[in-house]
């Protein structure tokens, strides 16, 4: 498996910078890839110094981070100049991704949404979102970079423009570009009350599963707990479907070790994922498929019990 962890799991502790964090990941068992935020981890630093520090480690990609300038919206901001800034930030992030030899630009539009009735013209803002994604996708495609939409139902906005797997797939259809897909964040799916494996199947059946943000939580908020710690049966089912669809991308752990030792927390995420993966292998794909084919809740629970043995 290909694994990556959050840079900010170390940086937010306050005692290391991006260069020291890269070193920590280089020496961490199981980690194969790095993942950067743009502009946060890249723009303030010398690009050549970053490239030298990365050395022979692989880079999965770059994720956009929109700060307060965009608080009223990225692609849907009432100020057209700020909408242009958001598209430009994505293009700059694509350029950074190319320089770092990454493959995927992950876009989370946290500020595109609304909080009040009569606040936005839905059709106009939906259309603006599609158009902006098309512009970013075409720019990225010329440079051989994939663009992946990370949806989240709410927070910081009360409602996000692209809030779940359904609207994401509708957006992908309308964007209509081969290099645009979806990144599934486990907590975001739970917040939307989705069944994570169902969202996975819907994305993967058309080859649109471009990325994973693995973590766990209790549905009401973006808790960022260790993968598989809360919704263990759902995590097992998710891993089963990853195998069924032969997912060979990077497994990025988007969890938040606020009170935990960052290194141990990331290692535990890797261990959880590997253990769940081994459990699925031990039972066997065919045996699991046989149980699923029965559409029998009791048989399904029996399978879960067997997995927990």
**Closest CB 213 distance from Mn ion, rounded Å:** 4
- 213 near Mn ion (CB under 5 A): yes
Is the Cβ of residue 21 or residue 307 nearer to Mn ion in the bound state? Answer: 21
- For CA atoms 174, 113, 65, 156, the dihedral sign is negative
Cα–Cα nearest to 87, from 128, 133, 152 = 133
**Quick one: tokens of 42?**
């890249």
For Mn ion, the closer of residues 18 and 63 by Cβ is 63
Contact status, residue 57 vs residue 73, Cβ threshold 8 Å: no
Please report how close the Cβ of residue 108 comes to Mn ion at its closest, in angstroms. Answer: 7
How do beta strands 113-114 and 159-160 pair? antiparallel
Least distance in angstroms from the C-beta of 12 to Mn ion: 15
- Least separation, in Å, of the C-beta of 155 and Mn ion? 12
User: Residue 105 is encoded by which pair of tokens?
Assistant: 């630009």
- Report yes or no: 129 and 161 within 8 Å, Cβ to Cβ: yes
Nearer residue to Mn ion within complex by CB, 103 or 185: 185
Nearer to Mn ion, 83 or 97 (CB): 97
Q: Does 216 bind Mn ion (CB under 5 A)?
A: no
- CB of 146 or CB of 213, closer to Mn ion: 213
69 alpha-carbon distance from chain centroid: 23
Chosen residue from 35, 163, 194, 254 binding Mn ion by CB under 5 A = 254
Size of the site for Mn ion (CB under 5 A): 3
- Helices 18-26 and 47-54, axial angle in degrees (round to 10): 20
Per-residue binding string, Mn ion, 151-190, x by CB under 5 A, is ----------------------------------x-----
Contacts of Mn ion in 123-142 (CB under 5 A): none
Rounded Cα distance between 279 and 307, Å, is 6
Q: Minimal CA–CA distance to 222: which of 160, 175, 156?
A: 156
Of 39 and 110, the one with the shorter C-beta distance to Mn ion is 110
Please, what is the minimum distance in Å from the beta carbon of residue 67 to Mn ion? 17
Rounded CA gap, 91 and 138, in Å? Answer: 10
In the complex, minimum distance from the CB of residue 102 to Mn ion, in angstroms, rounded to a whole number = 16
Told to check if 6 binds Mn ion by CB under 5 A, we report: no
Report residue 200: phi and psi, to 5°. Answer: -60, -50
Point out which span in 1-9, 66-74, 246-254, 265-273 binds Mn ion (CB under 5 A). 246-254
- Minimum CB separation from Mn ion for residue 254, in Å? 4
Neighbours of 67 (CB within 10 A): 10
Distance from CA of residue 155 to its chain's centroid? 16
Which one of the spans 79-87, 174-182, 212-220, 258-266 is the region binding Mn ion (CB under 5 A)? Answer: 212-220
CB 29, CB 54: distance < 8 Å: no
Nearest distance from C-beta of residue 132 to Mn ion, angstroms: 20
Footprint on this chain of Mn ion (rule: CB under 5 A): 185, 213, 254
């Amino acid at each position: 498996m290909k694994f990556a962890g959050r840079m900010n799991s170390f940086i937010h502790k306050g005692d290391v910078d991006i260069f020291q964090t890269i070193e920590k990941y280089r020496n961490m068992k199981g980690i194969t890839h790095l993942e950067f935020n743009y502009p946060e981890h890249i723009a303030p630093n010398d690009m050549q110094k970053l490239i030298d520090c990365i050395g022979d480690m692989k880079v999965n990609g770059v994720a956009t981070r929109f700060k307060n300038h965009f608080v009223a919206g990225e692609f849907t901001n009432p100020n057209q100049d700020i909408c242009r800034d958001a598209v430009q930030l994505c293009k700059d992030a694509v350029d950074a991704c190319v320089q770092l030899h990454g493959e995927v630009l992950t876009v989370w539009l946290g500020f595109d949404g609304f909080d009040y009735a009569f606040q936005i013209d839905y059709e106009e803002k939906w259309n603006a979102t599609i158009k902006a994604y098309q512009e970013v996708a075409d720019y990225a495609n010329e440079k051989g970079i994939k663009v992946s939409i990370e949806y989240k139902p709410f927070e910081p906005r009360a409602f996000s423009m692209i809030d779940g797997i359904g609207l994401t797939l509708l957006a992908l259809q309308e964007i209509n570009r081969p290099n645009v897909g979806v990144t599934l964040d486990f907590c975001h799916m739970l917040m939307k009350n989705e069944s994570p494996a169902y969202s996975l199947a819907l994305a993967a059946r058309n080859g649109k599963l471009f990325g994973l943000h693995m973590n766990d939580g209790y549905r009401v908020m973006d808790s960022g707990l260790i993968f598989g710690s809360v919704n263990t049966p759902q995590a097992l089912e998710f891993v089963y479907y990853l195998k069924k669809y032969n997912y060979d991308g990077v497994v990025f752990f988007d969890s938040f070790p606020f009170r935990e030792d960052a290194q141990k927390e990331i290692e535990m995420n890797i261990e959880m994922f590997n253990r769940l993966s081994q459990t699925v292998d031990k039972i066997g794909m065919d045996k699991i498929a046989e149980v699923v084919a029965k559409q029998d809740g009791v048989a399904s629970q029996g399978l879960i019990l067997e997995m927990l043995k």
